[in-house]
Structure 1
Amino acid sequence: MTTQLRSTLAGLLLAAAVLAATVAVTRHDTTDPSGVAVPVRVGPYAALGDSYTSGPRIPVQTGRPEGCARSDHNYPAQVAAGLDLKPGDFRDVSCSGATVDDLTGAQSTKKGTNPSQLSAVSRSTRLVTLGIGGNDIGFSDMITRCVAMGTAYKVLDRAKDMSSHGSPCRESYTDNGVDATEQRIAGLETKLTSALRDIRRRAPEARVYVVGYPAILPAGDANCGRRLPLAPGDIAYLRAKEDQLNKTLEEQAVSTGATYVDTYEASRGHDACAAESTRWIEPVVPSNPAAAVHPNARGQRGMAKEVLRAIRATE
């Protein structure tokens, strides 16, 4: 082999290596008027959110602080892998228990303090996902309370030997026709708008995706039995509250120029009352590694698929 040929081959190999490294953090958009493909950076990527993002109890738990309960198989990690991002181009600062206020302020957990999540967003950030809002309206507490009421209600129902169609939990959240949860959801709108505008200010070139919550409860008044012992009327009530929350997330995303990612439709039939082998959400007593009434590994994969679909649709 001649010296010139060796030099040519070395040059080609170097060019291929550079191209591979570039592809790992770019996609191509044909919006240039000349018709020439323009490289669009997809990293660095900052993942923000609560426990539905962090993936508590899903192996392997990783990151700091430990109290945030992040999994290396949550949907942000799978999105980063799907985009071929390098470790340095991906920061997951999601944290179990997070509210919108924790985006701009430090969050204390039982095992350490998580810095403000927006500290991970800078002018170099090119991709942001945000999944938050459930803790702001107290949804986890609602389910816990409704399960306790549903269990007591069904015991009483069996004692009376009658069919139950009541909604004791809904009644507890409603006073003189005013639904306390609806008020919390309404109060969330301003906070979300402010947070999304802050993200845009910090990362003006980033594409921002607001990730909705997957289906936690089944359609209709299906009886979940021991998996999620709720009064039939409260299943419909809680499902309606989740729907309102998701609509609020979508509206605020659109109003601030972000993209809403619907994970609800894809998760229909994979709720906490579905079979162990197909559900995305674990019931009160999980049988797959995950926190109660939270996405399991299958659910995180499904959510990642929807986020990637949305990202690729807007490239």
Structure 2
Amino acid sequence: MSRATPLACLVTTSVLALGLAAPAQAASSIDYAALGDSYSSGVGASGQSGSCLRSNNAYGPLWAAKNSPASFQFLACTGATTDDVRTGQVPTLSSGADLISLTVGGNDVGFTSTLITCWTTTDSGCVAKVNEAKAYAASTLGGKLDAVYAAIKAKAPGARVVVLSYPLIYASPATGCTLSTAKQAAINDGARVLDAKIQERAEAAGFVYSEVRDEFAGHEVCSSSAWINGVTLIPATNSYHPNNSGYASGYLPAFTGSAG
């Protein structure tokens, strides 16, 4: 009886392993839903419409257009807090959803009011406001996130849920910006604390956490190729949100790599 060589055994084992691996679910059979706030609705991109300021250039619609899922629910809405997602978006979520994406938490900690304060007060005033947001994230946000995640699991128990982070607004530090480096550092530090809490609670819920900072590195506000809008006047809501490139080259790859 001939004896198989080690190489032949390795090849055979590899082939068997490939043959026994569970095939990935085809996108055409996936029911996908995009939940969340303005970073999921597409604020900052072109083509926004309706009271929720949804844009087909947001990462959710971009993923759907590329992958042609069986169904797509675009439920994200500008200004949404954790309570808004839990009581307004989750109830309309399909119970058969296979894939869900989500950004939420920024409005809970006062994203807009913090940035306005940092633009209109001193360095110390900005730092104090950011510290308020960080304290809320530490004391209260975790419970709010847990409630949202539990509601999603109860409504669509079979779904793969991808929770995406927020990017850092500035490089470390950005030069040539109107805001001082102290304010930039404070804003970025607040974002890190927020993302850390989101990651902690998402992973505790058994969800997939996807960090977007790597994708946005080198494309922050004031960079030569910014994927995040600075202060905009028309419309003001676009301020500090991703532009078309930010959604297509930042958020979309971060989501696609975690969608399974």
TM range (shorter): 0.7 to 0.9
Of 200, 203, 211, which aligns to 1:254? 203
Q: How many residues align?
A: 240
What is the match of residue 67 of structure 1?
Answer: 51
Q: How does 1:1-315 map to 2 (within 5 A)?
A: 35=20, 37-38=22-23, 40=25, 42=27, 43-56=30-43, 58-62=45-49, 66-86=50-70, 89-105=71-87, 116-149=88-121, 153=122, 166-170=123-127, 172-173=128-129, 179-186=131-138, 187-220=140-173, 222-225=174-177, 229-275=178-224, 278-285=225-232, 291-301=238-248, 302-311=250-259, 315=260
Q: Which has the higher helix share?
A: 2
Higher Rg: 1
Q: Measure the CA separation in 1 of the matches of 2:196 and 2:119.
A: 24
Kept in 2: contact 1:55–1:290 (CA 8 A): no
Gaps of 5+ in 1: 1-31, 106-115, 154-165
Q: Which residue of 1 aligns with 2:9?
A: none
Tell me how far 1:57 sits from its aligned partner.
5.2
TM-score w.r.t. the length of structure 1 is 0.70
Higher RCO structure, 1 or 2 (CA under 8 Å, sep 6+): 2
* AA aligned opposite 1:169: C
The SS at the match of 2:20 is coil
1:5 aligned partner: none
Give the equivalent residue in structure 2 for 1:15. none
Distance in 1 between residues matched to 2:258 and 2:24, nearest whole Å: 18
Structure 1 residue 211 displacement after superposition: 0.7
1:47 counterpart SS class: strand
**Contact map agreement 1:282 1:291 (CA 8 A) in 2:** yes
Q: Which runs of 5+ in 2 are unaligned?
A: 1-16
The separation in 1 between residues aligned to 2:144 and 2:22, in whole angstroms, is: 38
| Identity over aligned pairs, percent | 30
Structure 1 or 2: more strand by fraction: 1
Cα pair 1:271 1:281 within 8 Å, conserved: yes
For 1:240, what is the secondary structure of its paired residue?
Answer: helix
SS at match of 2:166: coil
Q: 1:211 to 1:286 in 2, by over 3 A?
A: farther
1:289–1:75 Cα change, 3 Å: farther
The 1:289/1:173 distance shift into structure 2, 3 A limit, reads closer
